[in-house]
Structure 1
């Protein structure tokens, strides 16, 4: 957040056109951050920018040239103080023996390599920002990675998604070790069941009935709950690093155990 003596911190949010990403853009703007929202769907980004005052930058995190263009733009327009790697997704719910190799490849490319591309690209900007703001004793910079409780446990039918999210989790954990001693925090946010407008619909290839059934019989989280956690992590004092925040609905105690009591 900004003070009277320095400009507002600038945060990049990927996957910003809907769901958790859009909610995070809204929340961080409300907290006083300058926000760059990046996602594939330019029309939704522009609408979000008009609503919140954020900057929109169309981006496909699986396209290295597009990521390079984003990084160049950020470097030319003031740098960057933090990134929320939120772009990701799940496809299918097949058993291992029936798994679609292309879906696995797509999930790995989007969740793991997309996060890798963006993080590699912005790290020099984050280091530069941390240096300008006082290094180890100042505000520092932040890398937030939105994984999933799928990064912390298996469930039947989820092997492709859990494999990708475990990979993303290891990326963020290893990065934290590798940046030890630098003024850059690495935070993992692992949401459980979050009812957004698209996640399960995409997973079940547009089958609205199957998507709705995921959230029946209990109160799931909503995107704002995760945005709240992200904002909390970013606003801790500079010496405080929330390594991992697991956020589940009360009814969910494991990926495959939800108390569907109707409340």
Structure 2
């Protein structure tokens, strides 16, 4: 596989950010671009990507990260553009809240493909390039669902537990190549689409998830954490960052007021 020459940290930083058409991925593109990074914004929805690119100067790349041909095309485009030193895997998501007794196979297969298989394929494809820089970074966005299971979350728990396991193994495997591996685990984040899509487009049900929570986290909050984690000096590895709103003391304890 084609790689890029070794770089130094004082050169322009560059990253691929997946899930860039909405939510945390979109906010991360904006945060890094504002810091002067060259950013490849990757997602499946071309129209939203093009709008983001025109606003931020990012390079829009329409791709499904679980599709081998799309991944190969993305790597080729990034290589021709000079390469990257950072990979930010945001793409993923949840479908449904069924208990396991009523689990829908297609929902589980989608979650494993989006959160685990896609992340693996993209990471595998870019590792030679990240190693070649001499100071590569991989940041995987998982979830507090990777830490604690809950009723109705079995499929999402399974996907995020798997993604977390993969991330921890990657950190052990890549340390000798000076590739740092970071995991950000958000709690309750109110974004445009995550819960709405999980609940099949039921806007009323989606809004109830956040009802009475005075200040749930925003996509921009998480993007700012991601930006900080990938811009600190490279010898610092923020291995695992759990981010929750103050109102969410734990997965089972969420303070709701004014309902």
TM surpasses 0.5 = yes
Matched, 1:201 2:196: yes
Secondary structure (helix, strand or coil) at the match of 2:189 reads: coil
What TM-score, normalized by structure 2, do the two folds share?
A: 0.94
Match of 2:4 in 1: none
Matched, 1:156 2:145: no
Matched, 1:10 2:5: no
Q: Hey, what's the Cα distance between the residues in 2 that align with 1:229 and 1:66? A: 28
Alpha-carbon shift at residue 9 of structure 1 (Å): 1.0
Match of 1:90 in 2: 94
Q: Which runs of 5+ in 2 are unaligned?
A: 1-7
Alpha-carbon shift at residue 6 of structure 1 (Å): 4.7
Q: Hey, what's the Cα distance between the residues in 1 that align with 2:106 and 2:192? A: 24
Alpha-carbon shift at residue 155 of structure 1 (Å): 0.8
1:96-115 maps to which residues of 2 (within 5 A)? Answer: 96-115=100-119
Match of 1:21 in 2: 25
Match of 1:240 in 2: 236
Alpha-carbon shift at residue 180 of structure 1 (Å): 2.2
Aligned with 2:224 (options 228, 236, 241): 228
Secondary structure (helix, strand or coil) at the match of 2:101 reads: helix
Match of 1:33 in 2: 37
Match of 2:208 in 1: 213
Alpha-carbon shift at residue 33 of structure 1 (Å): 0.8
Matched, 1:165 2:160: yes
Secondary structure (helix, strand or coil) at the match of 2:192 reads: coil
Alpha-carbon shift at residue 251 of structure 1 (Å): 0.6
Q: Describe the superposition over 1:179-216 as per-residue Cα deviations: whole angstroms up to 9, x where unpaired.
A: 12221110000011100000000000000001111111
Alpha-carbon shift at residue 257 of structure 1 (Å): 2.1
1:59-98 maps to which residues of 2 (within 5 A)? Answer: 59-98=63-102
Change (3 A) 1:98 1:5: closer
Secondary structure (helix, strand or coil) at the match of 1:180 reads: helix
Matched, 1:184 2:188: no
Q: Hey, what's the Cα distance between the residues in 2 that align with 1:261 and 1:5? A: 46
**Length, aligned pairs only:** 251
What TM-score, normalized by structure 1, do the two folds share?
A: 0.93
Q: Hey, what's the Cα distance between the residues in 2 that align with 1:262 and 1:170? A: 39
Match of 2:51 in 1: 47
Alpha-carbon shift at residue 255 of structure 1 (Å): 2.3
Secondary structure (helix, strand or coil) at the match of 1:153 reads: coil
Q: Which runs of 4+ in 1 moved over 3 A?
A: 4-7
Over the residues paired in the alignment, what is the CA RMSD in angstroms?
1.4
Secondary structure (helix, strand or coil) at the match of 2:181 reads: strand
Alpha-carbon shift at residue 34 of structure 1 (Å): 0.7
Alpha-carbon shift at residue 5 of structure 1 (Å): 9.2
Change (3 A) 1:261 1:5: closer
Aligned with 1:145 (options 136, 140, 143): 140
Alpha-carbon shift at residue 254 of structure 1 (Å): 2.2
